[in-house]
Amino acid sequence: MGLGLRRIGKTFVAQATGYDLRQPLTPTQVAEVEAALAEHGVLVFGGQPLDETQQYAFIKSFGPTTVATLKEIAGNNQNFFDVGTVDDEGKPIAGDSVKGEYLRANRLWHTDGSFNQPPIRLTALLARELPPVPPPTEYADMRAAWDALPASRQAQLEHLMVEHSVLRSREQTGMTAEKFTSDTLQTRKPVSHPLVRTHPANGRKSLYLASHASHIIGWPLEKGRALVEELIAFATQERFVYSHPWQVHELVMWDDRWTMHRATAYDGPHPRKMRQCSVRELEPV
């Protein structure tokens, strides 16, 4: 059975049916998912109760996986990045712990791993356990945002380079540099990426932004920061945003090259267990 796709967002996002992701994907199926991500940006696969081994096998079929080595957040299995409310032992993650502070920045609009070089390319997030009213995850279409800019504005932006850093996103929610390990500070130096990216599958252009984006290379810091903030505000207007209401055992996969996302606040007592894994670009961007 082929991949069924039904658009559920205004400009992007599709419900994807027909695949059992617990089974290994064939090369044809991988190509179908890649093509769907290039077209829709975010795919929602319902009814996928994957265990760790199956989720890792799934993401691995799309390229080299990202290893979650940041000591601030690492769990027992470095192939995954858990973004829920409890740790591996089921204990609540305190909001004022280092991990709690790190995770709070997920409420800022971002694309995953843009502070890496090469950055993350695709992310797959599985809802393992949810509270009765799950907090939605919001997604923004940076391709539609780019298309909506006047041509004169596009020409001004096209060749700019942006500095990205994990410290930049965290400082915006109060997690300052001294909270990071010396290893992180040594190994996660700022990187630069183009502000505008072209998707290799279809030649479509998009903005490439994130809370990790600090400023424009070669510009005065404040001027560059103001432009980054202005463009994130532009790209996350309601007309470019899809809000996903989670169901348990949904796996949502997204293309980090042209979408942003953010978590919404949840401080309730019921555990929320979300397990994320990702693959990176093959070459520096």
Q: Tell which one of 112, 163, 255, 281 touches Fe ion (CB under 5 A).
A: 112
Q: Which stretch binds Fe ion (CB under 5 A): 9-17, 104-112, 150-158, 179-187?
A: 104-112
Cβ-based nearer residue to Fe ion, 19 or 240: 240
Task: Using the minimum distance from each CB to Fe ion, give the nearer residue, 101 or 112.
Answer: 112
Identity of the residue, 112 or 163, whose beta carbon is nearer to Fe ion in the bound complex: 112
Interface of this chain with Fe ion, residues 121 to 140, rule: CB under 5 A? none
- Nearest CB to Fe ion, comparing residues 29 and 114: 114
The nearer residue to Fe ion, 149 or 241, going by C-beta atoms, is 241
Cα–Cα dist 251/258, whole Å: 19
Q: Which range touches Fe ion (CB under 5 A), out of 13-21, 63-71, 108-116, 127-135?
A: 108-116
Q: Which stretch binds Fe ion (CB under 5 A): 53-61, 110-118, 175-183, 237-245?
A: 110-118
**Residue 72 vs 112, nearer CB to Fe ion:** 112
Query: Least distance to Fe ion from the beta carbon of 254, Å?
Result: 9
Q: How far is the CB of 123 from Fe ion (least distance, A)?
A: 7
Q: Which stretch binds Fe ion (CB under 5 A): 106-114, 201-209, 219-227, 249-257?
A: 106-114
> What is the widest separation between alpha-carbon atoms in the chain?
54
Q: Which residues contact 232 (CB under 8 A, 6 or more apart)?
A: 109, 209, 211, 213, 260
> Does residue 82 interact with Fe ion by CB under 5 A?
no
Residues near Fe ion (CB under 5 A) = 112
